[in-house]
Structure 1
């Protein structure tokens, strides 16, 4: 089964066996009316397709499934995406026409066997969410295939493959040969190698790296927290202190510190028998050549002699964005530089996970942002005011990013959506004195972004490697690039964390 189906069925199976309530009410129709249609009357309407929209949203794959209440429109959407088939397969959305008039029912295929399809369908028999077994007969119009839908030119599976191939945003160095793994293994034994024997210097280097990392890590994390509180100017003075502490820890257990790299590298390389071993020994010896160099090697931090200038750009800091679909996200990961959390959508929805995300972002010293999912079918000024009011309840502080997420038209023309976006952005700018960030997919931004080029751009494009996207017109450059969406959305920044904060709120704290 494909990855989209895996995610969907985990959500769908947990809902079995749902039955609509008195008066035909369903939580799925209620959700659809509030979050998608932005109008009433859906809570007691036919809910077969609205259930799938809800499940796809909860699973985080709605861009690949579409979100509809009217089944003929949903079927046409799959056709337009080039994702329509007449052959059943697990994970396919199956569209039915029982009456001969038009498509009026939809379910999802769980398996295909012996000429039959096994499905899970909502609003079946009028009231149930349940499993069904059906013949593949003329009542079936066709199948929509989410796995074939492309977002920004790539399918969900292709996006996952790209993210996997790219690897972790900032992977730790990994051993590449037996010669490089051996010193670490030896350092764990109770008996050290003979003095002056093969591997002696290499073992010393491994111990130095371990000890320095242990000494520096707590200080490094504390600095990150202080930076979020406006005390990052002290970094230049603290790096030598951190390096000195690390060196003291190393010397306390007898690790020799060398003053130049060449003697250590030459001696270590001379004891190795193979080219790979010589390279490994040279690497390990190099990290013992002074506390500052060792600290940098162990933590990825800049050496004291050349700390980054305040506001200097760094190569693609990594961050994520989350919503109520990512409950309990761990913001303490070392590779994170920023995080952006959903707080509001339209005029009625407020994300219940925002309070925790907002406080955890601050606690971990990360650049933080709040985003509003825009609904062009409703008043932009009221939405902007509501967004700001909710953020202020949780505390709006210097450097906090304010973001408009615009991905839907609500049936409006490109010109109407563009005018709506301008008014929302202007309203937030008038109220805060800062230009809010604009988020959208590359193609949507190009179509609906006329006149918005002065606002910082956060662009989603899964068809490009991280940080390799070009900004769509009218923007000259991008600030953030969302390059993948797997278990959560992955992003990189063009700017350093300090520069990102300069795009955020700059007035005295509120709340």
Structure 2
């Protein structure tokens, strides 16, 4: 692993600030960012770590070159056996909590508790809705996702939703970024952890999200390595398939890779718990 990634991931370990309102430690430095390595952190060329119902024909930059893999889940995965998930070598999970300002994923509380009990590091994510204010949505997320010092940073899921039956609004990029900052800043102040931004290439480009230089990114790229789709933009997590298959989950699963080595993953996890 080139030095660039090691420095980027561990750079967030610097001292933080204490917010006077609630006594929480808030990062005084940018969240850890990962950059694309010139040479991938080879974890072996034995082939895919998990089965895929519709595998992509990867080039030289393969997901299984990365050592640390995890999943993201919502009600669409149904009942999950988290002990089986953990036994299948899943290293982390992001769990859908909320959407908009009035929707709670009905499986969140169960998944949140059972993932922790099974020993799977987990974080919660919010699916953004363009017909409610960022302030309302942040308050809704905070209402339902408890503070937990062992949790991964919260995630803001930003993508267009053309299938929404109630909101077809597509705000101007300047307004999108303004509202995102309100949501992100509110969650950071409350949880003491800088949120991660999840997005797809069309939304990323249209709204010029590269301006969020102080936030880590979780990028969707199921038909090529992120470097092929997002250029040299830094990323921390890579969602590389939506058709994965693993123990404990019935049907398709989203699978993701962490950008660093296993040692860097452990260091990053430790940083989140400080």
- TM-score after normalising by structure 1: 0.36
Point out the structure with the larger helix share: 1
| Residue among 81, 100, 103 paired with 1:330 | 81
Are residues 502 and 418 of structure 1, via their aligned partners in 2, closer, same or farther at CA, if it must alter by over 3 Å?
farther
Q: How does 1:407-486 map to 2 (within 5 A)?
A: 407-408=159-160, 410-448=169-207, 449-464=209-224, 468-470=225-227, 472=230, 476-486=233-243
Q: How does 1:377-416 map to 2 (within 5 A)?
A: 377-392=131-146, 396-408=148-160, 410-416=169-175
Are residues 426 and 361 of structure 1, via their aligned partners in 2, closer, same or farther at CA, if it must alter by over 3 Å?
same
| Residue among 483, 492, 504 paired with 2:257 | 492
**1:501 maps to 2:269:** yes
- What is the CA-CA distance between 1:363 and the residue it aligns to? 1.7
Task: For structure 1, list consecutive stretches of 5 or more residues without a partner in the other structure.
Answer: 1-157, 171-313, 507-511
Aligned residues, how many? Answer: 199
Q: How does 1:129-144 map to 2 (within 5 A)?
A: none
Q: How does 1:1-400 map to 2 (within 5 A)?
A: 160-162=54-56, 315-332=66-83, 333=85, 334-392=88-146, 396-400=148-152
User: Greater relative contact order (Cα 8 A, min sep 6): structure 1 or 2?
Assistant: 2
- What is the CA-CA distance between 1:164 and the residue it aligns to? 10
Are residues 439 and 164 of structure 1, via their aligned partners in 2, closer, same or farther at CA, if it must alter by over 3 Å?
same
Give the Cα–Cα distance (whole angstroms) in 1 for the partners of residues 59 and 111 of structure 2.
29
Give the Cα–Cα distance (whole angstroms) in 2 for the partners of residues 502 and 439 of structure 1.
22
> Which aligned segments of 4 or more residues in structure 1 are displaced greater than 6 angstroms?
163-166
Are residues 398 and 441 of structure 1, via their aligned partners in 2, closer, same or farther at CA, if it must alter by over 3 Å?
same
Q: Deviation per CA, 1:13-68, whole angstroms, max 9, x where unpaired?
A: xxxxxxxxxxxxxxxxxxxxxxxxxxxxxxxxxxxxxxxxxxxxxxxxxxxxxxxx
Are residues 340 and 423 of structure 1, via their aligned partners in 2, closer, same or farther at CA, if it must alter by over 3 Å?
same
Give the Cα–Cα distance (whole angstroms) in 2 for the partners of residues 354 and 163 of structure 1.
33
**Larger of the two Rg values belongs to structure:** 1
Are residues 455 and 388 of structure 1, via their aligned partners in 2, closer, same or farther at CA, if it must alter by over 3 Å?
same
Q: Report if aligned partners of 1:480, 1:494 keep a CA contact under 8 Å in 2.
A: yes
SS at match of 1:160: coil
Give the Cα–Cα distance (whole angstroms) in 2 for the partners of residues 443 and 480 of structure 1.
17
Q: Report if aligned partners of 2:242, 2:254 keep a CA contact under 8 Å in 1.
A: yes
Q: Report if aligned partners of 2:220, 2:238 keep a CA contact under 8 Å in 1.
A: yes
Q: Deviation per CA, 1:83-113, whole angstroms, max 9, x where unpaired?
A: xxxxxxxxxxxxxxxxxxxxxxxxxxxxxxx
- TM-score after normalising by structure 2: 0.64
